[in-house]
Structure 1
Amino acid sequence: MLTVLLILIPLVTGLLTFGGKGSGPKVLGLVSSLASLAVVAGALFQFQSAPEGLQVTAAWIPQLGSTFSVGLDGMGLMLCLLTAIAFLLVFITIYNRDYERPGSFYGLMLLSQAGLVGVFTAYDALLFYVFWELALIPVYFLCSMWGGEKRVPVTFKFFIYTFTGSLLMLVGIIYLYLQSPDRSFSYASFTNLNLPAQEQSWLFWLLFVAFAIKMPIFPFHTWQPDTYEQSPTPVTMILSGVMVKMGLFGVLRWLLPVLPQGAFMWADVAIVLSVIGIVYASCIAMVQQDFKRLIAYSSIAHIGLMSAAIFANNEQSLQGIQVQMFNHGINIIGLWIVVEIIQQRLKVKNMEELGGIAQYAPRMAIFLVIIALANIALPLTNGFVGEFLMFSGLFQYNIWVMAVAGLGIILAAVYTLNMLQKVIFGESNSLTATTTDLQNTELVALSLIVIVILVLGVYPRPMLELVSSTTELVNSVF
């Protein structure tokens, strides 16, 4: 029942929020996110004692062999926790902001949360696809209605990419459904198919391209920087912090267990594309002056490392990528919160126009430094644990691949420290001299993020134990 509540709470509150005015929508959004986090906490407790109670199956479309089957394993629970934290942080951060048509804004945000949780809990392929679309469609309207000056062409490009990926995935799902002996969309039917290697080879690309677009990795990434730049920053927080994990999750939950031979045949190609993306995105991030685009390309590089780790096919890399999905989400949302604060205060994104903010907003400067260092995997921060495991896994796969991917660490340090120098330190100017420090809601959100960064950096064991069962399962079939 807790699993169903995780979907129902944002779904129902999202529908109720439409048409709301004044402060009602933001209050309902905040209450909904708090309730979701409380339910996730209950699910974490139950997972330790009776995980079977988190699985729910009910009749849905029996004529098609599809059931409403949802459940939580360690990876799904970890991503539901990330989703609940992410939306809570977003709603806290923007609580003092005013948006046109607030009922529609918060309603679409909550519907997207319902879709995300559905993706992470679905154990029926058709249900997975429905939730996949439910998560993406609200984002399209959020970007097109509340985005920047170039939102129309950028949103159209985002739509074309995501629609193409969704169509390819649907074709693959239908084909797999037709091959199942019992004509079922159930996860068990799909994982027991054992198709010939030749069929798995081309089916791999139908699913992989869909997931690669969502991550995104090279060369399916070109929608991302523009979308991140033009989207409202709260939407960008969800896109980069949570939604990119849909692609990684899809590979781990559906692609590898259902098409293990196809994944094995094309693993080297997937790793090469991922590593190219790491170096390519890092180099472009180094020359960016736009704050939002720098973080966007940084995210591509980090996701490229996670994608490469998946296909390295060993226990350490698989464990590292799952832990890093959570840690990257927390860190990147922290960076976007600071971007949102600076953009709201100063109305600029160009780092050349900034400088010396630490003199006027010391608390914000401290938080940005800690989060930025976690994002480049400084030891004793949460980012270090996952990256260490992923690089260990890549070392076992191929030392040269690891060495090239390791360039991302060096380049990330370069553009991150350069960003800190331009934004926080250096000489102030007439614009940055008007900066004010953190408001209470912003202070709460950033404090929560830094606490998570330091706690998981010092003591990562609970997160590693949470995803261990999923690691063993994926490693056994791939």
Structure 2
Amino acid sequence: MIALLLFLIPLIGGLVAFFLKEGNAARGWSLLVALATMALSIAGMKMINDPSAASFSQEWMGSLGSSFALSLDGLSGLLCLLTGIAYPIILLATWRSTYRKPGNFFGLMLLAQAGLMGVFLAKDALLFYFFWELALIPVYFLCSGWGGERRIPVTFKFFIYTFTASVLMLIGLLYLYLHTPDRSFSLESFYALRLTNDNQSFVFWLLFVAFAVKMPVFPFHTWQPDTYEQSPTAATMVLSGLMVKMGVFGLLRWVMPVVPTAAYMWGDTVTSMAVIGILYASFIALQQDDLKRLVAYSSIAHIGIIAAAIFSGTRSGNEGAVIQMFSHGVNIIGLWIVVELIERQFGTRRMSQLGGIAQQAPGLTIMLVIVSFANISLPLTNAFPGEFLMFNGIWNTVGSKFSALFTVLAGLSIILGAAYTLNMLQKVLFGASNERTAAGYRIRPVETLSLVLVVGLILAFGVYPQPLLDSASGFVDGLLKQANFSNLATK
């Protein structure tokens, strides 16, 4: 039942928010709904091993073999937890932001959360597709209605990319459905399929491209930097912290276990694309002067490492990818919070127009330094365990002759990430103050709380990552048993 509530509470809360016309009422109601959802997501982590409490199934479209089936496991539980924790932080961080038609804005935000929860919980392919669209459609309206000056062409580009990806995914899911003996959309029926290698490859590329656009993976990434730049910051946090995980989740839930032979056959190709994206994004980030675009390209590089680790076919690679999905979500939202505070106070995101903030705002400086160190996966931050496991997995990629090369090239992102992150800290925080930054910036209590929560998660899971590993371990056991990469490599 808790799985159903994780979807229903933000759905109903979002619909109610549309009727709240006053800004404070809509904002307060949204925070209340987000806190209730967070409490449920935390409770859900304790019920993962109890199917009766963590699952819900009801006939939905019986004539099509589709059911309204939701369930929590290690993967979905961790991503629902991330979504549940992220939303209160996002709402607190943007508390002082004002929006025209605030009820509509917060209603769309909560509907996007409902869609996200559904995507992570769905155990039926048709239901998964329904939730996928439910998560994306509100974001279109958030970006086009409350974005920057170039929001219309940017949102149109975003729409074309994601709509095309959705069509490809639907074709792939329907193809699988037509090959099930009992004409069923259930996840179990898909897992039981034994397709030929050619059929698997056909489905693999349909689904992979659909999910690669959302992640995004090179060369399907070009919508992302502009969309992040032009979207309202709250929507950008949802896009980068949560929605990119939909694509990664799709690989783990609907690609690797369903078409394992094709995933193994095309593993080196996908990893090559991921590594090119890692290096490309890292070098582009080095050249950025705009903080939003720097964070956007940094995210592309991190997601590339996750993709390469998934296709390693190893336990450590996939465990690292699962926990890094959680850590990346926390860290990237922390970076966006600081970018939002800096832009709101100083009226610019240009690093060349900033400087000397450390002298005037030591609290903000400490927070940004900690979040930035997490972004480059320093030890004792939450990103370090996942990154270490992922690189270990890439080094031991099952059946690949290029695993050492992939590891070395992907490993350059550590050096490049440190370079552009430390360069950002130097330009923004240190040096001499100027006319913009001389007055300084005092973090307000609600902003402090949002950053303290982020920093607390960074340090807590950096020192003690075992809860994340425990959650990932059970899921990865099942994934590797279903995909059986080691056996494929010996054939």
**3-state SS of paired residue (2:205):** helix
* Among candidates 426, 432, 439, match of residue 437 of structure 2: 432
What pairs up with 1:111-130 in 2 under 5 angstroms? 111-130=111-130
Cα distance, 1:46 vs. partner? 2.1
What pairs up with 1:28-427 in 2 under 5 angstroms? 28-47=29-48, 50-397=50-397, 398-427=403-432
* Cα distance in structure 1, aligned partners of 2:220 and 2:46: 39
Aligned partner of 2:417: which letter? A
Aligned partner of 1:379: which letter? P
Partners of 2:233 and 2:336 within 8 A in 1:
yes
Question: Residue by residue, what CA displacement relative to the aligned partner does 1:440-470 show, whole Å, maximum 9, x if unpaired?
Answer: 1110010011111111111111110011111
Q: Once superposed, what is the RMSD of the aligned Cα atoms?
A: 0.8
**3-state SS of paired residue (1:435):** coil
Aligned partner of 2:165: which letter? G
TM-score (norm 1): 0.99
* Cα distance in structure 1, aligned partners of 2:330 and 2:93: 14
* Cα distance in structure 1, aligned partners of 2:279 and 2:465: 28
Compare 276-285 and 39-48 and name the one that shifted more: 39-48
Compare 461-470 and 295-304 and name the one that shifted more: 461-470
Aligned partner of 2:33: which letter? S
**3-state SS of paired residue (1:68):** strand
Cα distance, 1:52 vs. partner? 4.2
Cα distance, 1:96 vs. partner? 2.4
**3-state SS of paired residue (1:294):** helix
> Is residue 451 from structure 1 mapped to residue 463 from structure 2 by the alignment?
no
* Cα distance in structure 1, aligned partners of 2:162 and 2:364: 35
Segments of 5+ residues of structure 1 without an aligned counterpart are: none
Cα distance, 1:477 vs. partner? 2.2
Aligned partner of 1:427: which letter? A
* Cα distance in structure 1, aligned partners of 2:413 and 2:338: 23
**3-state SS of paired residue (1:67):** strand
Cα distance, 1:19 vs. partner? 3.2
* Cα distance in structure 1, aligned partners of 2:444 and 2:481: 49
* Cα distance in structure 2, aligned partners of 1:16 and 1:449: 29
Question: Residue by residue, what CA displacement relative to the aligned partner does 1:303-327 show, whole Å, maximum 9, x if unpaired?
Answer: 0000000001100000000000000
Give the match for residue 26 of structure 1: 27
Cα distance, 1:51 vs. partner? 4.0
Cα distance, 1:365 vs. partner? 0.5
* Cα distance in structure 1, aligned partners of 2:31 and 2:77: 21
Cα distance, 1:434 vs. partner? 2.7
* Cα distance in structure 2, aligned partners of 1:293 and 1:42: 36
* Cα distance in structure 2, aligned partners of 1:47 and 1:124: 18
TM-score (norm 2): 0.96
Cα distance, 1:349 vs. partner? 1.0
Partners of 2:2 and 2:55 within 8 A in 1:
no
* Cα distance in structure 2, aligned partners of 1:14 and 1:453: 29
* Cα distance in structure 2, aligned partners of 1:102 and 1:346: 24
Aligned partner of 1:100: which letter? R
Aligned partner of 1:222: which letter? T
* Cα distance in structure 2, aligned partners of 1:203 and 1:118: 23
**3-state SS of paired residue (2:60):** strand
* Cα distance in structure 1, aligned partners of 2:96 and 2:352: 28
Segments of 5+ residues of structure 2 without an aligned counterpart are: 398-402, 484-491
* Cα distance in structure 2, aligned partners of 1:40 and 1:34: 10
What pairs up with 1:7-26 in 2 under 5 angstroms? 7-22=7-22, 23-26=24-27
* Cα distance in structure 1, aligned partners of 2:453 and 2:51: 28
Partners of 2:105 and 2:142 within 8 A in 1:
yes
Cα distance, 1:347 vs. partner? 1.5
Cα distance, 1:192 vs. partner? 0.5
* Cα distance in structure 2, aligned partners of 1:462 and 1:204: 32
**3-state SS of paired residue (1:379):** coil
Partners of 2:256 and 2:263 within 8 A in 1:
yes
Partners of 2:21 and 2:103 within 8 A in 1:
yes
* Cα distance in structure 2, aligned partners of 1:193 and 1:406: 37
Give the match for residue 487 of structure 2: none
* Cα distance in structure 2, aligned partners of 1:437 and 1:206: 50
**3-state SS of paired residue (2:282):** helix
Moved over 6 A (4+): none
* Cα distance in structure 1, aligned partners of 2:217 and 2:59: 37
* Cα distance in structure 2, aligned partners of 1:463 and 1:202: 34
* Cα distance in structure 1, aligned partners of 2:207 and 2:155: 23
Give the fraction of aligned pairs with identical amino acids, expressed as a percent: 55
Aligned partner of 1:107: which letter? G
**3-state SS of paired residue (1:437):** coil
Compare 87-96 and 164-173 and name the one that shifted more: 87-96
Partners of 2:154 and 2:230 within 8 A in 1:
yes
* Cα distance in structure 1, aligned partners of 2:189 and 2:207: 17
* Aligned positions, number: 477
Question: Residue by residue, what CA displacement relative to the aligned partner does 1:243-293 show, whole Å, maximum 9, x if unpaired?
Answer: 000000000001011111111111110000000000000000000000000
Aligned partner of 2:45: which letter? L
Partners of 2:60 and 2:67 within 8 A in 1:
yes
